[in-house]
Amino acid sequence: MKLNDIRDNEGARKGRMRVGRGIGSGKGKTAARGQKGQKSRSGVAIKGFEGGQMPLHMRLPKRGFNNPFGKDYAEVNIGMVQKWIDAKKLDGKKDVTEEALRESGLVRGGKDGVRLLGKGEIKAKVKFVVTGATKGAIAAVEKAGGSVEVTAPTNAEVKAANAQAAK
């Protein structure tokens, strides 16, 4: 046995059928396309076409709005942070930053940062450094003896900056 002797078993690879090569081939004449009609011709692309009737995807109403200026935050609840601290996946003694949350596997995605939400309860005295946080989350963390440092500008700061730029 040599490398140049290695080959597939007989019948392991089936050759492609060559259509339109005479009536004796079994796939001659119409080349398995049936007779006449748009689909028997080349260059057909009629995915949503319904015979001239308005296609379903055009009959249904459009819904929703996709804000091109909206921020994409990875959201994390304080209850899950407490769970991670209890499971020793996250160190509660150090500052809980976005990098620490990502390394622990609690947060994924969110190209504009991490936002802290107030679902659940937190018992650990933790300092958070995140892009955003809800009022409820900040209140719950401060009640437990911790603190929240928000790095992203608030709406009031953004409005003040816009007003300054307008002048």
In a domain, 15, yes or no: no
Low-confidence ranges of the chain (pLDDT < 50): none
In a domain, 64, yes or no: no
- Let me know: does 62 contact 50? Beta carbons within 8 Å: no
pLDDT confidence of residue 133: 92
In a domain, 118, yes or no: yes
Number of domains in the chain: 1
Q: Report the CATH number at residue 106.
A: 3.100.10.10
Domain that holds residue 154: 74-158
In a domain, 26, yes or no: no
In a domain, 81, yes or no: yes
In a domain, 164, yes or no: no
In a domain, 43, yes or no: no
pTM: 0.57
For 122-144, write each residue's pLDDT tens digit: 988 999 999 999 999 999 999 99
In a domain, 29, yes or no: no
